């Protein structure tokens, strides 16, 4: 089985599922039992300052426009935090400069720093055994190297096109039937 996690899956424009239209998914797990990842370029209608307020945490003005992401359609009430803080308890390393945590305590600790050092994702993307492999054979996804710069520093609206262009792929050249021209 190819090494997909950790890595990015980049949806081709023809992928029919609206949950994944032009999605960039950071893959957390991939095995014969299935796969799991977080969409890292889909803003939620909720802002990070609203989440902080809901947890009783006061945050500064820099949180006013900080985004929360829709991590995927599965369990949208469940949160995952992608961050760059290896010293936090239960920080699970993904790749250089990127960790994932799933606890409310970790999120509250991160609220005491800059919102540019983490992304809160609500929900996740999941695939059953063999499902992702089938979609990949059909040309629905392109794999890419992950980078914390993409996840933490770039505005989500720019991510899909930027990842493709930095791979040497012009998004306009992706054929309507999937794959590359």
pLDDT in tens, 135-149: 999 999 999 999 999
Q: Position of tokens 């359609």?
A: 73
pLDDT for res 16 = 83
pLDDT band of residue 72 (cuts 50, 70, 90) is very high
**HEC-encoded secondary structure of 128-143:** CCCHHHHHHHCCCEEE
CA angle 2, 24, 65 (to 5 degrees): 145
Do 119 and 81 meet the contact criterion of CB atoms below 8 Å apart?
Answer: yes
* Whether residue 1 has pLDDT greater than 50: no
Query: What does the alpha-carbon distance between residue 11 and residue 23 come to, in Å, rounded to a whole number?
Result: 5
> Per-residue pLDDT for 180 more than 70?
no
- Cβ atoms < 10 Å from Cβ of 114: 12
- Indicate whether 46 pLDDT > 50: yes
One-character DSSP codes across 70-90:
E--SEEEEEEEEEES-TTSTT
> Residue 172 has what pLDDT?
86
Q: Name the least confident of 3-7, 99-103, 128-132, 143-147.
A: 3-7
* Residue 177 pLDDT exceeds 90: no
Structure tokens at 127: 């695939």
| Rounded distance between C-alpha atoms, residue 25 and residue 57, angstroms | 29
Q: Are 36 and 124 in contact (CB under 8 A)?
A: yes
Q: What domains, with CATH codes, occur in the chain?
A: 7-173 (3.40.1740.10)
- State yes or no: pLDDT of 2 exceeds 70: no
Q: What is the pLDDT of residues 24-43, one digit of tens each?
A: 999 999 999 999 999 999 99
What gap in Å lies between CA 12 and CA 160, rounded to an integer? 10
Average pLDDT taken over every residue of the chain: 92
Burial of 41 (0-12, 13-18, 19+ CB in 10 A): buried
Q: What are the pLDDT digits (tens) for 77-88?
A: 999 999 999 999
Parallel, antiparallel or unpaired: strands 24-31 and 7-11:
antiparallel
Structure confidence at residue 181 (pLDDT): 42
């Amino acid at each position: 089985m190819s090494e997909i996690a950790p890595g990015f899956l980049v949806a081709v424009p023809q992928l029919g599922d609206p949950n994944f239209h032009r999605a960039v998914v950071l893959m957390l797990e991939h095995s014969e039992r299935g796969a799991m990842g977080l969409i890292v370029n889909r803003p939620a209608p909720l802002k990070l300052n609203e989440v902080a307020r809901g947890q009783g945490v006061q945050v500064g003005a820099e949180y006013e426009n900080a985004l929360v992401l829709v991590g995927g359609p599965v369990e949208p009430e469940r949160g995952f935090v992608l961050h760059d803080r290896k010293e936090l308890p239960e920080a699970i390393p993904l790749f250089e400069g990127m960790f994932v945590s799933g606890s409310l305590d970790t999120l509250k600790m991160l609220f005491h720093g800059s919102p540019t050092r983490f992304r809160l994702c609500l929900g996740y993307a999941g695939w059953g055994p063999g499902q992702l492999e089938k979609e990949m054979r059909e040309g629905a996804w392109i794999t890419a190297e992950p980078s914390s710069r993409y996840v933490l520093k770039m505005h989500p609206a720019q991510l899909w096109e930027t990842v493709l262009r930095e791979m040497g792929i012009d998004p306009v050249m992706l054929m309507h039937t999937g794959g590359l021209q």
